[in-house]
Amino acid sequence: MVPEGHETEPPPSERRREGWPRWSVWMLVALVLASVVIPGLINRDSGTAIDYSDLIDEVSDGKINSIVVTNGTGAIKAEAIDDVTYSSKGPVELPETDLELLRDRNVTVEFRSESSNPFLSMLPILLPFVLIIGLFWWMQRRAQGQMSGIMSIGRSKAKTYTTERPETGFDDIAGYKSVKQEITEVVDFLKEPDRFAAVGARIPKGVLLVGPPGTGKTLIARAVAGEAGVPFLSVTGSDFMEMFVGVGASRVRDLFQTARKLGRAIIFIDEIDSIGRKRGAGVGGGHDEREQTLNQMLAEMDGFEASEGIVMMAATNRPDILDPALLRPGRFDRQVVVPLPESEERSAILTVHAKDKSIDENIDLDLVAKGTPGMSGADLANLVNEAALNAVRMDRDSITQEDFEAARDRILIGQRRDSVAMTDREKEVTAYHEGGHALIATLFANSDPVHKVTILPTGQALGITMQLPEERHAYSQDYIEDRLAVLFGGRMAEDTVFGVTSTGAANDLIQGTELARRMVTEWGMSDRVGPMAWGSDNQVFLGEGLVSGRDYSDDTARIIDEEVERILRTQEGRARQALIEHRGALDRIATALLDKETISGEQVAQLIPEPDESEPASGSISETEGHPPTAKSETD
């Protein structure tokens, strides 16, 4: 089984050569202890222990033949005439009377010096040398470790997954049928390369997965490897970059050498835009080390043939900044777009993520999926988890539809701020501001439907008008103009009712100005400017537009500014006129918000009369004057 990385652990024999075995340390400790303990055991006195006074009595009785006295310790060993051995402890220096007694009784007396432990006697001399040698040995080991790290810095950090690992297949990916069909040829080639070789077909060397973050590009690449039953080498673009020159190119070479040793394999590079950006771009001429890494990758991709059974896969969400040489035929031949999931695909993804959750049987995941347009697979996984957390927070045993609603609101508009206490005046102005957004969004046919309106402080806003966009892949001019009118609805409601405007519409104006400018400069929705488009001027990091951020004259810039102003003022007038004509509905919506704090889009529609009904005008709920507070809508 191939380990996580292709750098395998050295065998035990090599590890023993690299350093001392573990048992050698314990052996050294045992030898030291033996040198200290064993001499003491050998020199230990043997025989029958008696007191010194009793020993003198035995000498007086003539029962002792000889004694041995140890200098410095007073230890005495005596041999009796009946071959009995006595051991005793006397004074360090024997008294003169006792010595005369021993001579009178013809006792042989021998004085011996205590035998010293050679190891202990040499320890003061050896200890400094041992410490110096140990220090040099430790420094050598550290140097060897650092050198081994430096020598292996050029090796690839790719993780290798083999067929022995738990497989990931297409069945584990919910939705994305078109993406699966497009990359099925890669799977078939890796499974049966002879069938393609028989007709002379050449499989693409490289497949580039392009899509927004969180759409499952990495999971799709692993599913290809799982379906084909071949090893899968995964690496990120940032793994090639180090502070040392030439490391990235060395790792690229090592990565492809490893793939060739495996035979048929898939090399997957995630976030390839980190090393695959256009060469020679940027202020100062670009990043030389990154460009050398890219050059080595381009050379390696040219170096293997399709018959080798190696397929390159990469993922990025910025294909526009990749080097053209990386995208030409023969390298990354095919681009597979992994878009945001549609409603049916979102429902399937929610079903996958809800498998291990306790879900209430009355939950309709299709309804949840319809209310989450624009969410990626990662967003949906987070949605299910937030719903589970909300269920636990509310002491429920299973996840209900209410939990999904709370989770969606938390993700889209933020968390409620219960600590914010608004005055009555602030609540009234906020109610009219959000009521203006909701009224215009309900009246204009091309705008997104209103989901709910609240004046409870949420996220960074004092109030929210939440709209759920319908599934759209292209936006008409009528839709964008109605969108602008909705953005101006809050500001015009404050101006219509109170005669003043607040800073609450700041973000509305920012979004509206950006939309209007794109209508003029990118989408050709201005008759005066005509069918002309100018791209964004934020391209300095690619080396474009260094001198000037625009490619049109000052006269054209003045015309663009005038057209943007005309569009904004026109939609502001539409919003003002609609609010004046439906002033009664605006008052009813504001009253409902002040009463209930949160109302649904259906309740908003019920408060607006039919076109044939008269709409009487009325004043504001409160005629109290004051400075309007900051109020934000969902569009903020």
Q: Select which of 345, 434, 563, 634 is catalytic.
A: 434
User: Both tokens of residue 234?
Assistant: 């995964």
CA 255 to chain centroid? 23
Residue type, 434: E
Q: What is the pLDDT of residues 341-373, one digit of tens each?
A: 888 888 888 888 888 888 888 888 888 888 888
Per the CB < 8 A criterion, the answer to whether 523 and 533 are in contact is yes
Angle at 396 between CA 390 and CA 399, to 5 degrees: 60
- At 100 the pLDDT is 79
pLDDT surpassing 60 at residue 616: no
Residue 434 designated active-site: yes
Averaged confidence pLDDT in the chain = 76
- Residues near 457 by beta carbon (within 8 Å), at least 6 away in sequence: 416, 417, 420, 422, 463
| One CATH from 3.30.70.1050, 3.40.50.300, 1.25.40.10, 3.30.70.520 for 159-337 | 3.40.50.300
- At 118 the pLDDT is 63
Q: What is the pLDDT of residues 582-602, one digit of tens each?
A: 999 999 999 998 888 888 888
Alpha carbons 155 and 250: distance in angstroms, whole number: 7
DSSP bridge partners of 399: 359
| Interval 146-174 mean pLDDT | 57
pLDDT surpassing 70 at residue 396: yes
Percent of the chain at pLDDT above 70? 74
- Residues near 391 by beta carbon (within 8 Å), at least 6 away in sequence: 358, 397, 398, 399, 400, 403
Complete DSSP assignment for 131-190: HHHHHHHHHHHHHHHHHHHHHTTTS---EEE-TTSPP--GGGS-S-HHHHHHHHHHHHHH
| Interval 477-484 mean pLDDT | 92
Q: Which of 415-424, 561-570, 609-618, 620-629 has the highest mean pLDDT?
A: 561-570
Lowest mean pLDDT among 59-68, 84-93, 167-176, 237-246: 237-246
| Interval 17-36 mean pLDDT | 60
- At 513 the pLDDT is 93
pLDDT surpassing 90 at residue 577: yes
List the one residue out of 449, 364, 368, 444 whose CA is nearest residue 409: 368
**Which residue has better confidence, 115 or 511?**
511
User: Both tokens of residue 77?
Assistant: 């060993």
pLDDT surpassing 90 at residue 484: yes
- Residues near 626 by beta carbon (within 8 Å), at least 6 away in sequence: 425
User: Both tokens of residue 226?
Assistant: 């799982």
- At 10 the pLDDT is 44
Give 485's pLDDT tier (boundaries 50, 70, 90): very high
Give 167's pLDDT tier (boundaries 50, 70, 90): low
Give 133's pLDDT tier (boundaries 50, 70, 90): confident
| One CATH from 1.10.260.40, 1.20.58.760, 3.30.505.10, 3.40.50.1220 for 424-606 | 1.20.58.760
Q: Which of 446-455, 456-465, 544-553 has the highest mean pLDDT?
A: 446-455
- At 313 the pLDDT is 84
Give 630's pLDDT tier (boundaries 50, 70, 90): very low
pLDDT surpassing 70 at residue 615: no
Write down the CATH number for the domain with range 343-413. Answer: 1.10.8.60
For the chain, what is the radius of gyration of the CA atoms? 44
- At 535 the pLDDT is 63
pLDDT surpassing 70 at residue 299: yes
Give 517's pLDDT tier (boundaries 50, 70, 90): very high
We find that the CATH architecture of domain 44-114 is: 2-Layer Sandwich (3.30)
pLDDT surpassing 70 at residue 65: yes
Helix (H, G, I), strand (E, B) or coil at 263: coil
Count Cβ atoms below 10 Å from residue 261 Cβ, excluding itself. 10
